[in-house]
Protein backbone atom coordinates (compact mmCIF):
# COMPACT_ATOMS: atom_id res chain seq x y z
CA UNK A 1 0.00 0.00 0.00
CA UNK A 2 1.46 3.33 -1.00
CA UNK A 3 -0.34 5.08 1.85
CA UNK A 4 1.50 2.82 4.29
CA UNK A 5 4.80 3.57 2.58
CA UNK A 6 4.04 7.29 2.70
CA UNK A 7 3.10 7.14 6.38
CA UNK A 8 6.21 5.15 7.23
CA UNK A 9 8.50 7.66 5.54
CA UNK A 10 6.85 10.74 7.04
CA UNK A 11 6.76 9.15 10.52
CA UNK A 12 10.55 9.41 10.68
CA UNK A 13 10.33 13.21 10.84
CA UNK A 14 12.79 15.66 9.38
CA UNK A 15 10.32 16.39 6.57
CA UNK A 16 10.48 19.44 4.34
CA UNK A 17 7.28 20.13 2.40
CA UNK A 18 7.30 21.65 -1.09
CA UNK A 19 3.73 22.60 -2.01
CA UNK A 20 2.13 23.79 -5.23
CA UNK A 21 -1.18 24.96 -6.62
CA UNK A 22 -2.77 21.52 -6.30
CA UNK A 23 -2.90 21.95 -2.53
CA UNK A 24 -5.13 25.03 -2.85
CA UNK A 25 -7.61 23.87 -5.47
CA UNK A 26 -9.95 22.56 -2.76
CA UNK A 27 -10.01 26.11 -1.37
CA UNK A 28 -11.46 27.26 -4.68
CA UNK A 29 -8.24 28.52 -6.27
CA UNK A 30 -7.63 26.96 -9.71
CA UNK A 31 -4.27 25.65 -10.82
CA UNK A 32 -2.50 25.87 -14.17
CA UNK A 33 -1.91 22.23 -15.02
CA UNK A 34 -3.94 19.99 -12.69
CA UNK A 35 -7.56 18.85 -12.99
CA UNK A 36 -8.99 22.34 -12.41
CA UNK A 37 -6.73 23.87 -15.04
CA UNK A 38 -7.28 21.47 -17.91
CA UNK A 39 -9.46 23.83 -19.93
CA UNK A 40 -7.37 26.93 -19.22
CA UNK A 41 -5.44 28.68 -21.97
CA UNK A 42 -4.39 31.69 -19.91
CA UNK A 43 -0.91 33.11 -20.50
CA UNK A 44 0.47 34.54 -17.24
CA UNK A 45 1.75 38.11 -17.13
CA UNK A 46 5.52 38.37 -17.48
CA UNK A 47 7.67 40.82 -15.56
CA UNK A 48 9.03 42.32 -18.77
CA UNK A 49 5.56 43.01 -20.19
CA UNK A 50 4.27 44.40 -16.89
CA UNK A 51 7.11 46.90 -16.49
CA UNK A 52 7.45 47.98 -20.12
CA UNK A 53 3.89 48.14 -21.43
CA UNK A 54 1.52 50.62 -19.77
CA UNK A 55 -1.52 49.19 -21.57
CA UNK A 56 -0.67 45.66 -20.47
CA UNK A 57 -0.14 46.93 -16.93
CA UNK A 58 -3.56 48.61 -16.92
CA UNK A 59 -5.12 45.40 -18.24
CA UNK A 60 -3.41 43.39 -15.50
CA UNK A 61 -4.61 45.67 -12.70
CA UNK A 62 -8.17 45.81 -14.05
CA UNK A 63 -8.35 42.03 -14.18
CA UNK A 64 -6.54 41.53 -10.90
CA UNK A 65 -8.67 44.16 -9.15
CA UNK A 66 -11.61 41.82 -9.59
CA UNK A 67 -9.93 38.44 -9.47
CA UNK A 68 -7.72 38.80 -6.40
CA UNK A 69 -10.82 38.94 -4.23
CA UNK A 70 -11.26 35.21 -4.84
CA UNK A 71 -7.84 34.71 -3.28
CA UNK A 72 -8.71 37.08 -0.43
CA UNK A 73 -11.89 35.12 0.34
CA UNK A 74 -10.23 31.70 0.14
CA UNK A 75 -9.83 29.77 3.37
CA UNK A 76 -7.43 26.93 4.22
CA UNK A 77 -8.73 23.47 3.36
CA UNK A 78 -8.18 20.19 5.19
CA UNK A 79 -4.91 19.64 3.34
CA UNK A 80 -3.42 22.91 4.60
CA UNK A 81 -4.58 22.16 8.12
CA UNK A 82 -3.10 18.67 7.97
CA UNK A 83 0.30 20.04 6.96
CA UNK A 84 0.13 22.44 9.93
CA UNK A 85 -0.74 19.53 12.23
CA UNK A 86 2.23 17.53 10.98
CA UNK A 87 4.46 20.52 11.65
CA UNK A 88 3.00 21.04 15.12
CA UNK A 89 3.49 17.34 15.78
CA UNK A 90 7.22 17.70 15.14
CA UNK A 91 7.38 15.78 11.87
CA UNK A 92 7.69 18.69 9.43
CA UNK A 93 10.75 20.90 9.85
CA UNK A 94 10.14 23.28 6.97
CA UNK A 95 7.50 24.35 4.46
CA UNK A 96 8.32 25.87 1.08
CA UNK A 97 5.34 26.87 -1.03
CA UNK A 98 5.11 27.97 -4.64
CA UNK A 99 1.65 29.40 -3.90
CA UNK A 100 0.95 33.09 -3.35
CA UNK A 101 -2.30 32.68 -1.38
CA UNK A 102 -0.96 32.66 2.21
CA UNK A 103 -3.13 29.67 3.12
CA UNK A 104 -0.40 27.64 4.84
CA UNK A 105 0.07 30.41 7.39
CA UNK A 106 -3.68 30.94 7.71
CA UNK A 107 -3.98 27.23 8.56
CA UNK A 108 -1.55 27.60 11.47
CA UNK A 109 1.78 26.69 9.91
CA UNK A 110 4.81 28.76 10.93
CA UNK A 111 8.03 29.79 9.22
CA UNK A 112 6.56 29.20 5.76
CA UNK A 113 8.91 30.17 2.92
CA UNK A 114 6.73 31.73 0.23
CA UNK A 115 8.97 31.16 -2.76
CA UNK A 116 6.97 33.33 -5.14
CA UNK A 117 5.75 35.95 -2.65
CA UNK A 118 2.21 36.87 -1.58
CA UNK A 119 -0.62 38.31 -3.61
CA UNK A 120 -2.02 40.27 -0.66
CA UNK A 121 1.02 42.57 -0.54
CA UNK A 122 2.05 45.31 -2.96
CA UNK A 123 5.50 46.79 -3.55
CA UNK A 124 6.63 50.03 -5.23
CA UNK A 125 9.29 49.30 -7.84
CA UNK A 126 10.81 52.76 -7.34
CA UNK A 127 11.07 53.35 -3.58
CA UNK A 128 10.41 49.84 -2.28
CA UNK A 129 7.48 50.82 -0.07
CA UNK A 130 5.23 47.89 0.81
CA UNK A 131 1.51 48.14 1.45
CA UNK A 132 -1.40 45.78 1.85
CA UNK A 133 -3.56 44.77 -1.06
CA UNK A 134 -6.60 45.93 0.92
CA UNK A 135 -5.22 49.48 0.94
CA UNK A 136 -4.62 49.38 -2.82
CA UNK A 137 -8.09 47.96 -3.37
CA UNK A 138 -9.61 50.96 -1.58
CA UNK A 139 -7.59 53.41 -3.71
CA UNK A 140 -8.57 51.64 -6.93
CA UNK A 141 -12.22 51.68 -5.94
CA UNK A 142 -12.00 55.42 -5.33
CA UNK A 143 -10.59 56.22 -8.78
CA UNK A 144 -12.78 53.65 -10.56
CA UNK A 145 -16.30 54.27 -9.19
CA UNK A 146 -18.81 52.00 -10.78
CA UNK A 147 -16.27 49.64 -12.29
CA UNK A 148 -18.51 46.62 -12.50
CA UNK A 149 -17.11 44.66 -15.41
CA UNK A 150 -18.46 41.15 -15.57
CA UNK A 151 -15.55 38.86 -14.87
CA UNK A 152 -14.94 35.64 -16.72
CA UNK A 153 -12.93 32.69 -15.42
CA UNK A 154 -10.56 33.38 -12.55
CA UNK A 155 -6.94 32.42 -13.22
CA UNK A 156 -4.50 30.86 -10.74
CA UNK A 157 -2.56 34.10 -10.25
CA UNK A 158 -5.68 35.92 -9.12
CA UNK A 159 -6.81 37.79 -12.21
CA UNK A 160 -9.80 37.29 -14.46
CA UNK A 161 -10.62 37.33 -18.14
CA UNK A 162 -11.93 40.73 -19.29
CA UNK A 163 -12.61 42.13 -22.75
CA UNK A 164 -10.70 45.13 -24.09
CA UNK A 165 -13.76 47.35 -23.84
CA UNK A 166 -14.09 46.52 -20.14
CA UNK A 167 -10.44 47.35 -19.49
CA UNK A 168 -10.27 50.56 -21.53
CA UNK A 169 -11.70 52.90 -18.89
CA UNK A 170 -9.87 51.44 -15.90
CA UNK A 171 -7.50 53.79 -14.06
CA UNK A 172 -4.38 52.67 -12.20
CA UNK A 173 -2.66 54.46 -9.31
CA UNK A 174 0.98 55.06 -8.42
CA UNK A 175 2.82 54.73 -5.14
CA UNK A 176 1.23 56.71 -2.31
CA UNK A 177 4.64 57.36 -0.76
CA UNK A 178 6.93 58.51 -3.59
CA UNK A 179 4.05 59.59 -5.82
CA UNK A 180 5.21 58.22 -9.15
CA UNK A 181 6.51 54.72 -8.46
CA UNK A 182 5.07 51.76 -10.33
CA UNK A 183 3.11 49.39 -8.10
CA UNK A 184 3.38 45.64 -8.49
CA UNK A 185 1.93 42.77 -6.48
CA UNK A 186 4.71 41.35 -4.32
CA UNK A 187 4.84 38.11 -6.26
CA UNK A 188 7.40 36.72 -8.66
CA UNK A 189 6.08 37.05 -12.20
CA UNK A 190 7.13 34.75 -15.02
CA UNK A 191 10.46 36.02 -16.31
CA UNK A 192 11.35 37.46 -12.91
CA UNK A 193 14.00 36.02 -10.61
CA UNK A 194 13.23 34.69 -7.14
CA UNK A 195 15.43 36.57 -4.63
CA UNK A 196 18.73 34.72 -4.26
CA UNK A 197 18.64 34.66 -0.46
CA UNK A 198 15.19 33.04 -0.55
CA UNK A 199 16.38 30.34 -2.92
CA UNK A 200 19.47 29.73 -0.78
CA UNK A 201 17.27 29.33 2.30
CA UNK A 202 15.13 26.75 0.51
CA UNK A 203 18.19 24.81 -0.61
CA UNK A 204 19.47 24.82 2.98
CA UNK A 205 16.17 23.36 4.19
CA UNK A 206 16.32 20.61 1.57
CA UNK A 207 19.94 19.81 2.32
CA UNK A 208 19.14 19.40 6.04
CA UNK A 209 16.00 17.34 5.41
CA UNK A 210 15.54 13.63 5.94
CA UNK A 211 12.66 13.61 3.44
CA UNK A 212 11.31 16.00 0.79
CA UNK A 213 7.52 15.76 0.53
CA UNK A 214 6.07 17.36 -2.63
CA UNK A 215 2.37 18.20 -2.39
CA UNK A 216 0.23 19.31 -5.31
CA UNK A 217 2.92 20.42 -7.73
CA UNK A 218 3.45 19.22 -11.29
CA UNK A 219 7.06 20.41 -10.99
CA UNK A 220 6.70 21.67 -14.56
CA UNK A 221 8.95 24.68 -13.98
CA UNK A 222 12.47 24.72 -12.61
CA UNK A 223 11.53 27.09 -9.80
CA UNK A 224 10.24 24.13 -7.78
CA UNK A 225 11.82 21.18 -9.59
CA UNK A 226 15.35 22.31 -8.68
CA UNK A 227 14.71 21.35 -5.06
CA UNK A 228 13.72 17.84 -6.10
CA UNK A 229 16.88 17.60 -8.20
CA UNK A 230 19.00 18.78 -5.27
CA UNK A 231 17.38 16.26 -2.93
CA UNK A 232 17.96 13.45 -5.40
CA UNK A 233 21.59 14.46 -5.86
CA UNK A 234 22.14 14.39 -2.10
CA UNK A 235 20.31 11.11 -1.59
CA UNK A 236 17.41 12.72 0.31
CA UNK A 237 14.30 10.59 -0.40
CA UNK A 238 11.54 12.34 -2.36
CA UNK A 239 7.84 11.54 -1.99
CA UNK A 240 5.33 13.12 -4.37
CA UNK A 241 1.58 13.35 -3.73
CA UNK A 242 -0.22 14.95 -6.67
CA UNK A 243 -3.21 14.42 -8.92
CA UNK A 244 -1.57 13.49 -12.20
CA UNK A 245 2.03 12.83 -13.21
CA UNK A 246 4.83 15.27 -12.47
CA UNK A 247 8.23 16.05 -13.93
CA UNK A 248 9.81 14.83 -10.72
CA UNK A 249 8.34 11.31 -10.68
CA UNK A 250 11.57 9.72 -11.89
CA UNK A 251 13.34 10.95 -8.74
CA UNK A 252 10.67 9.88 -6.25
CA UNK A 253 10.83 6.95 -3.86
CA UNK A 254 7.03 6.97 -3.65
CA UNK A 255 4.38 8.69 -5.81
CA UNK A 256 0.71 8.81 -4.90
CA UNK A 257 -2.12 10.14 -7.05
CA UNK A 258 -4.88 11.24 -4.66
CA UNK A 259 -6.89 14.31 -3.53
CA UNK A 260 -4.71 16.08 -0.98
CA UNK A 261 -7.65 17.35 1.04
CA UNK A 262 -8.54 13.78 1.94
CA UNK A 263 -5.22 11.96 2.00
CA UNK A 264 -3.31 14.48 4.14
CA UNK A 265 -5.84 14.55 7.02
CA UNK A 266 -5.72 10.74 7.04
CA UNK A 267 -1.94 10.93 7.24
CA UNK A 268 -2.05 13.46 10.09
CA UNK A 269 -4.61 11.35 11.95
CA UNK A 270 -2.33 8.35 11.67
CA UNK A 271 0.87 10.08 12.74
CA UNK A 272 0.03 12.91 15.14
CA UNK A 273 -3.31 12.02 16.64
CA UNK A 274 -6.99 12.31 15.90
CA UNK A 275 -9.22 9.54 14.67
CA UNK A 276 -7.18 6.39 13.98
CA UNK A 277 -7.14 5.44 10.33
CA UNK A 278 -7.74 1.74 9.89
CA UNK A 279 -7.21 -0.39 6.79
CA UNK A 280 -10.92 -0.36 6.01
CA UNK A 281 -10.98 3.42 5.86
CA UNK A 282 -7.85 4.24 3.93
CA UNK A 283 -6.07 1.37 2.28
CA UNK A 284 -4.03 2.90 -0.55
CA UNK A 285 -5.97 6.15 -0.28
CA UNK A 286 -8.87 7.73 1.62
CA UNK A 287 -12.13 5.83 1.40
CA UNK A 288 -14.09 6.48 -1.75
CA UNK A 289 -11.11 7.99 -3.59
CA UNK A 290 -9.06 5.09 -4.96
CA UNK A 291 -5.98 6.80 -6.42
CA UNK A 292 -4.02 5.72 -9.41
CA UNK A 293 -0.79 4.79 -7.66
CA UNK A 294 2.29 4.73 -9.80
The answer to whether residues 32 and 156 touch, using CB atoms and an 8 Å cutoff, is yes
Q: Please indicate whether residue 65 is annotated as part of the active site.
A: no
Q: Is 202 annotated in some ligand binding site?
A: no
**99 annotated ligand binder:** yes
Beta bridge partners of residue 132, listed in sequence order: 121
Say whether 89 counts as a known binding-site residue.
no
d(CA 48, CA 189): 9
Distance CA 181, CA 196 (A): 24
Q: Is residue 48 annotated as involved in ligand binding?
A: no
Does 283 show up as a binding residue in the annotation?
no
Which residue, among 209, 201, 198, 199, has the nearest Cα to 91 in the 3D structure? 209
Q: In what order do the strands lie in the sheet with 117-124?
A: 130-132, 117-124, 183-187
Q: Are 9 and 267 in contact (CB under 8 A)?
A: no
User: Is 216 labeled as ligand-binding?
Assistant: yes
The annotation status of 77 as a binding-site residue, yes or no, is no
C-alpha 11/C-alpha 114 separation (Å) is 25
Contacts of 221 (CB under 8 A, 6+ apart): none
- Residue 244 CB coordination number (10 Å): 12
Annotated binding-site residue? 178: yes
First to last CA, the chain: 11
Q: What does DSSP assign to residue 158?
A: S
Q: Which of 65, 80, 116, 201 is catalytic?
A: 116
127 is in an annotated binding site: yes
Length of the chain: 294
Is 70 labelled a binding residue? Answer: no
101 is in an annotated binding site: yes
175 is in an annotated binding site: yes
Binding residues: 98-101, 124, 127, 175, 178, 216-218, 242-244, 260
**Catalytic residue positions?**
116
Binding residues for Zn(2+): 124, 127, 175, 178
Binding residues for NAD(+): 98-101, 216-218, 242-244, 260
Amino acid sequence: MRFEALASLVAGGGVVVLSGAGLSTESGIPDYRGPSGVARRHTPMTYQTFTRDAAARRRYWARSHLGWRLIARARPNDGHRAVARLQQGGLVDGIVTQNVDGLHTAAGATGVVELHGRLDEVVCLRCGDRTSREELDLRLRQVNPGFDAVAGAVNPDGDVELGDEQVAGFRTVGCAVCGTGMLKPDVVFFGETVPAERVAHCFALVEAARLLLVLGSSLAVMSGRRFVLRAAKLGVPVVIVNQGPTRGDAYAAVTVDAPLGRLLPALADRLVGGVPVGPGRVGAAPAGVPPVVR
